[in-house]
Amino acid sequence: MAPLQELAKEYAKARRDKKFRQQVAYYLREYVGRPTPLYFAERLTRELGGAKIYLKREDLLHTGAHKINNAVGQILLAKRMGKSRIIAETGAGQHGVATATVAAMFGMECVIYMGEVDMARQALNVYRMRLLGAEVRAVTAGQRTLKEAISEAMRDWVTNIRHTHYIIGSVLGAHPYPVMVRDFQAVIGREARRQILKHEKRLPDVLVACVGGGSNSIGLFHAFLKDKGVRMVGVEGGGRGIKPGDHAARFQKGGSLGVLQGTRTFVLQDEDGQIMLTHSVSAGLDYAAIGPEHSYLRDAGRIEYSYATDPDALAAFQYCARVEGIIPALESAHAIAWVQKHAKKLGRDAIVIANMSGRGDKDVMQAAELMKL
């Protein structure tokens, strides 16, 4: 607990420090490639025959997903705190790659924990992390995906706490992590808000993003929370359908308030409080809990949550590639699946921003197998 309090204190200081903020902004601009475009998806809009669809192109960032926004912020904080070793968990591998990347750039030792199942389905990212000089440790406990990787990273952290900083990749874990990761990702929404006002001279009607732990979604939504007319939709991993063990949709059946990995939030659990198995075709959404702020905003009625099944997401994956020439990450494809389903109903006057949180290169092998390409 004491190290968490120290981190919270240091982060609160850094957040008020203009120099720190400038440093983060500098690396995001010069190294990561911000701002990302808010791209009007013209053909997608025409084909779906309804709402005007914009894509926030986080997939164009260095390393290929929004995860790098947070990795940059946290490694600068770690440096400020005098830490010499970085650890992280990863599901889809994008956060692992982002962390390995910034660790390489700042010359820090880096260990990434990844479930064995995820290492197989996201093999490309394992090679990338190794190439970047990180050690990837396979996690073989439990169902061998993101949840176990987080537990193992937390075990490492308490063991090496004095010189190690743990860069959590999503809005999860104990305070200050959910707040800190949200702040570092909120740049997505700040840019999108400015950009849509410029393009359209008005705010959008709907924001949509996929939700695993929930960092890309809260990143997009945060700047719009006070804009009452803007509807926000988080899309969870519906897996093989809403049956126990077959999905990762925490706000559907099976999800209830619980405590996992330092957070009180909605968790998929059984009646005894044991955490349930989850499934999603997308490693980044395959997790039993959701960021606590999502639970709060859901209960407050500010964000609504939906889900897309594996087949929906795979169909959207291919559709987006063929219609827009953009191969989305399987995670982001869940948001596209929602857009596909709802664009027409929303009508031509509506404006939708979907977060293209990452690109799909990492998923091509898996998709090829599943879709018999």
Partner 1 sequence: MNRIDQKFRALRTLGKKGFVAYIAAGDPNLKQTGALAREFERIGVDVLELGVPFSDPLADGVVNQLAAERALKSGTTLRGVLDLVRNLRRQGCEIPIVFYIYFNLVHRYGVKNFAKEACRAGVDGVLTLDLPPEEGAAFQQTLTKAGVHPIVLIAPTTPTNRIRTLVKQAGGFIYYISREGVTGMQSKVATTIRDRVAVIRQYSKLPVAIGFGISNPKQARAVAMDGDACVVGSAIVNQIAQNGRDAKKVARFVAPLIKEVKR
Residue of 35, 142, 245, 311 interacting with partner 1 (CB under 8 A): 142
Counting Cβ atoms within 10 Å, is residue 273 exposed (0-12), middle (13-18) or buried (19+)?
Answer: exposed
Q: Is 67 a catalytic residue?
A: yes
> Whose Cβ is closer to partner 1: residue 161's or residue 365's?
161
Minimum CB separation of residue 262 from partner 1 in Å reads: 7
Told to check if 82 binds partner 1 by CB under 8 A, we report no
Query: Which one is catalytic: 52, 56, 83, 89?
Result: 89
- Which window, 53-61, 201-209, 273-281, 321-329, contacts partner 1 (CB under 8 A)? 273-281
Q: Is 282 a catalytic residue?
A: no
Query: Which one is catalytic: 52, 56, 67, 147?
Result: 67
CA–CA separation, 230 vs 207, rounded Å?
A: 7
Residue of 35, 241, 245, 262 interacting with partner 1 (CB under 8 A): 262
Count of chain residues binding partner 1 (CB under 8 A): 29
At 350, the amino acid letter reads A
Binding mask 143-182 for partner 1 (x = CB under 8 A): ----xx--x--xx--xxxxx--------------------
State how far Cα 333 lies from the chain centre.
13
At 99, the amino acid letter reads T
> Whose Cβ is closer to partner 1: residue 271's or residue 349's?
271
Told to check if 349 binds partner 1 by CB under 8 A, we report no
Q: Which strand ranges, in their side-by-side order, compose the sheet holding 164-166?
A: 135-139, 109-115, 85-90, 164-166
Q: Which of 143, 187, 138, 185 is nearest to 293 (CA)?
A: 185
DSSP code string of 159-186: HSTTTEEE---SS-SSTTHHHHHHHHHT
Q: Is 271 a catalytic residue?
A: no
Minimum CB separation of residue 226 from partner 1 in Å reads: 29
Told to check if 81 binds partner 1 by CB under 8 A, we report no
Minimum CB separation of residue 137 from partner 1 in Å reads: 13
Residue of 104, 138, 275, 315 interacting with partner 1 (CB under 8 A): 275
Told to check if 257 binds partner 1 by CB under 8 A, we report yes
DSSP code string of 256-293: EEEEETTEEEEEEB-TTSPBPP---SSGGG--SB--HH
Task: Output phi, psi for 258, to 5 deg.
Answer: -155, -175
> Whose Cβ is closer to partner 1: residue 151's or residue 318's?
151
Residue of 3, 133, 245, 311 interacting with partner 1 (CB under 8 A): 3
Minimum CB separation of residue 301 from partner 1 in Å reads: 24
Minimum CB separation of residue 16 from partner 1 in Å reads: 23
Instruction: Give me the torsion for CA of 93, 218, 359, 282, rounded to 10°.
Output: 50
Q: Which of 371, 286, 364, 372 is nearest to 124 (CA)?
A: 364
Minimum CB separation of residue 99 from partner 1 in Å reads: 21
| CB contact at 8 A, 75 and 102 | yes
Side-chain half-sphere CA neighbours of 339 within 13 A: 35
CA–CA separation, 169 vs 67, rounded Å?
A: 7
> Whose Cβ is closer to partner 1: residue 28's or residue 180's?
180
Token code pair at residue 160: 């090496």
Told to check if 271 binds partner 1 by CB under 8 A, we report yes
Tell me which residue has tokens 């394992």: 126
Binding mask 211-250 for partner 1 (x = CB under 8 A): ----------------------------------------
> Whose Cβ is closer to partner 1: residue 11's or residue 39's?
11
Side-chain half-sphere CA neighbours of 254 within 13 A: 22
Task: Output phi, psi for 291, to 5 deg.
Answer: -50, 140
> Whose Cβ is closer to partner 1: residue 162's or residue 372's?
162
> Whose Cβ is closer to partner 1: residue 83's or residue 334's?
83
Residues near partner 1 (CB under 8 A) are 1-3, 141-142, 147-148, 151, 154-155, 158-162, 257-262, 264, 267, 269, 271-275
Q: Which residues belong to the active site?
A: 67, 89, 357
